[in-house]
Amino acid sequence: MKRLLLFSTLIVFLSSCSKIVVIPEQRSIEGSWVLAEASRSNGFGWQYFRSGLEDGVFDFYRNGNAEFDDGFSLMRGTWRIRTVSGGYYDQYGNYYDRLHDSWEVNVYDAYNRSSIDMYFDEIVVYNNRIVATHYDGYYIQRYTFRRI
């Protein structure tokens, strides 16, 4: 009986000393998205521009497959989000040098030989919105997608 009591006390003591680590929920980009806004900045304010992707729908699948359909062609390919270390500009134009998520989308239509190859230095996923940025050496480009 003493051993059982000692063992039970040891388990209660060890379990009370454990730390709980909470990992934030990874937001998913699965589903259908449209480009709601494209803008760029050279450090003197944001200017909106037409990227040519506004009239299509992106579909991102859990397995990493992607599609883009603009009503004229259906492009298929892949997407991926990676955690990387290094410098990047965020959606407000602020520069950081730390761990962050980058995003790549590559889709291709073999019939008409058109493709979309996007690389974003940073991606931030909200419930129904994605904001992704890329610095091309002169402009910080910011793309905002919304879920449909």
Is a pLDDT exceeding 80 seen at residue 132?
A: yes
pLDDT digits 0-9 by tens, 17-66: 444 433 334 458 999 999 999 999 998 999 999 999 999 999 999 999 99
Give the DSSP letter of residue 120.
E
Is a pLDDT exceeding 90 seen at residue 147?
A: yes
Task: Summarize the confidence of residues 81-103 as an average pLDDT.
Answer: 97
Give the DSSP letter of residue 127.
S
Q: Are 79 and 103 in contact (CB under 8 A)?
A: yes
For the chain, the average pLDDT equals 87
Nearest to 74 by CA among 125, 124, 108, 123: 108
Domains of the chain (ranges plus CATH)? 26-147 (2.40.128)
pLDDT for position 28 = 84
This prediction's pTM: 0.80
